[in-house]
Homo-oligomer: A and B are copies of this chain.
């Protein structure tokens, strides 16, 4: 790890790609070696990226974990308050400046929006992952693998329904288990999983009764219950709703369905929550795509495709090692949606990083959206499956966002900021601190120390910053410090790093979940909505009530829950800023991600395919064909 010198920091701070281009990353082999990885444990993907084998966890099984820090934020403006940048900046400060072993663990961004509305996900300024074009485009192909796996399952569903519609049970069975030359038949191993599920213990196809043949061979999917969409990592709004099967070869078997963006696939959530190759195989196989006409869940393994999905995801399960501008090691892995999924990077990456830094090191991981969403899901979903226990929450706040919560005018991306956001305004800041304080109190409910990081803008006054820091401590934060890593690199986050190290060692740390898994789905929803959002009550629509019943009957009520709610307010109304009171949360619908292992409760419409504006970002993107460098990317 190598700190940037003051001479290397330019003022004003250049664009992200200019900084990335001006940085010469070291060969990733050097980062890997410095992090303690062995030659056998790394798979290079070019000179600046490498995949890390899961075997490193076994080799280091005797090593005590480092400190585990999660970065989250207050309720943000639509401009974002710098959570990723803080994650990277903090890791840089811990590593290149405090000389601790440190890792940043972050999500892989969706490639689609890179070409739509500008804005990368590699951090920014002098706190970013480089090369940022390698980070934002393709990376090591994990999202492409998810696209392939997701859509193989989609093709399997429609092809199976088509073939079932034209064949009787016996014919279906004869095709699924064809007789060899000697007349014998065998089940593929994946078929034994379906037989077990049906309670059939026979392993010789020739011994099945007619009834068993019918139950085994006919999945009898009810098309109206299908929840499995196709996916693409492209902002293609015209695929949100489509009719498939319109070609004459499909003989009129049309169906209404749609595409999501790939990061919304359940397979992305599976990747993020899997703890081993074997665990991923089981999760992929038990993903439910819809129901049979009799009301039984139909899984990927029922369709015979769980193993093939695992084959497609075999390399994606390895996190990707990259570096920051200060050569801090970064693991990039998984990037599920933060509404219909849990919005956190992978368990495996965190586990590997915690082993590699060892007991005196620190791993900084990021949770998506504001703390009411990303942090709560980090604790109640990710930590539940990983068994890992965090010691410290870093809550990112900005004076800009706090002024908005205090009553400042609407902040809109692409429009100039109102003067109140530029001039000193102590009243607005003071009023808006309520939002931050509520997030701090929420974090404390999980028994974890809180450090507030105030990302300072040039227009913030010392008095404004002082108010924020005082209010943070008043609400229970162990410390609150201003940060300037965007402009100064790790040097701008040294004070934060010192506070975090101290917080991790605090004897008051005593992690606990918000709710027990044995609670009913309604009880879990009430716990999150009342204790975290401050809602009076939770209302379930008739549809949601029906789903409650179905899912409880299916045995899914033991899953943790995942709220699909706006991140722009504690409430479900994005216009209600600060700390709204006197509201209820209405659950419109409930869906089950059985493979990932959570139920998600829809509090409104969630858009799962962004659109392209009239002038998309792609207009500026090109390749300098002489140097081979990408230009115009952010």
Contacts and interface: CB of A to CB of B under 8 A. Distances in A.
Interface of A: 43-47, 51, 111, 115, 133, 137-138, 141, 144-145, 147-148, 151-152, 154-156, 158-160, 162-163, 167, 172, 175-176, 178, 188-191, 230, 232-250, 253, 255-256, 258, 276-278, 281, 304-308, 310-312, 314-315, 611-616, 618-623, 625-626, 628, 630, 632-633
B308 A115 contact: yes
Contacts of A160: 614
A147 B145 contact: no
A115 B619 contact: no
A626 to B, nearest CB: 8
Given A44-B44, A138-B141, A163-B614, 19 more contacts: A43-B44, A141-B144, A144-B147, A154-B236, A163-B613, A172-B614, A176-B614, A188-B619, A238-B245, A241-B248, A242-B244, A243-B246, A278-B625, A278-B626, A307-B620, A307-B622, A308-B618, A310-B623, A314-B628
B278 A178 contact: no
B258 A238 contact: no
Contact of A621 (B147, B308, B622, B632): B308
Nearest to A233: B148
Contacts of A236: 151, 154-155, 158-159, 230
Contact of A155 (B45, B162, B235, B249): B235
A234 B155 contact: yes
Given A238-B250, A239-B244, A311-B633, A619 B191 contact: yes
Contact of A249 (B240, B276, B314, B615): B240
A103 to B, nearest CB: 22
B256 A237 contact: no
Contacts of A253: 238
B159 A237 contact: yes
A256 B250 contact: no
A314 B630 contact: yes
Nearest to A154: B236
Across the A-B interface, give the 3 residue pairs with the lowest CB-CB distance, nearest first.
A307-B622, A241-B247, A241-B246
A255 B614 CA distance: 19
28 contacts: A43-B45, A46-B315, A111-B148, A115-B308, A138-B315, A141-B141, A141-B144, A151-B232, A155-B236, A156-B612, A158-B238, A159-B611, A159-B616, A160-B614, A175-B614, A188-B632, A238-B244, A239-B244, A242-B243, A277-B623, A278-B626, A307-B632, A308-B621, A308-B622, A310-B622, A310-B623, A311-B622, A314-B628
Contact of A237 (B51, B189, B250): B250
- Stoichiometry, as copies per complex, reads 2
A620 B307 CA distance: 8
A518 to B, nearest CB: 30
Contacts of A242: 242-246
A186 to B, nearest CB: 10
Contacts of A246: 240-243, 256, 258
Contacts of A623: 277, 281, 307, 310-311, 314
A152 B113 CA distance: 10
Given A239-B244, A244-B238, A625 B152 contact: no
Contacts of A188: 619-620, 632
A618 B241 contact: no
Contact of A152 (B234, B248, B614): B234
A616 B237 contact: no
Contact of A618 (B167, B307, B616, B622): B307
Contacts of A158: 236-238
A185 to B, nearest CB: 12
Contacts of A314: 623, 628, 630
A30 to B, nearest CB: 15
Nearest to A235: B155
Contact of A144 (B144, B310, B616): B144
A616 B156 contact: yes
Contacts of A247: 237, 240-241, 258
Contacts of A238: 155, 158-159, 162, 244-245, 250, 253, 255
A255 B620 CA distance: 29
Contacts of A189: 622
Contacts of A237: 155, 158-159, 162, 247, 249-250
A558 to B, nearest CB: 24
